[in-house]
Amino acid sequence: MNLIRNHGALAKTVTFAVVHFSVAFGIAYLITGSIAIASALALVEPMANTVAYYFHERAWQWLRALPGATSSGASSLGSASPG
């Protein structure tokens, strides 16, 4: 059963990567009109997003570790009443 789930997760990851690269390429091509530039951006942008995601996750881990953070990972940052 785990093997089937793992293959499903792998297939989902691969298809998401294809979608991500396609969207990045399509937008870059529409903006630049250059296949070479669009291809380069479609390769570089997901790599940059991967690095940014790592730091995003680290920031959330830091927020969860703050005193007063709830078990769901939210802190009291959004709970203050206005005024």
Does some domain include residue 71? no
- C-alpha dihedral over 26, 46, 18, 6, to 10 degrees? -160
**Gap between the Cα atoms of 28 and 32, Å rounded:** 6
Asked if residue 82 is part of any domain, the answer here is no
Distance CA 24, CA 45 (A): 7
Question: Does 42 fall in a domain?
Answer: yes
Rounded Cα distance between 43 and 6, Å, is 26
Full pLDDT tens readout for the chain, 83 residues: 566 666 788 888 888 888 989 999 999 999 999 999 999 999 998 888 888 989 999 999 999 998 887 755 554 555 444 54
Domain presence at residue 21: yes
Instruction: Return the residue matching tokens 């293959």.
Output: 7
pLDDT given for residue 42 in this prediction: 93
Q: How many domains does the chain have?
A: 1
pTM exceeds 0.75, yes or no:
no
What's the confidence (pLDDT) of residue 83?
47
How far apart are the C-alpha atoms of 28 and 50, rounded to whole Å? 18
**Residue 27 resides in a domain:** yes
Supply the range of the domain harboring residue 29.
2-63
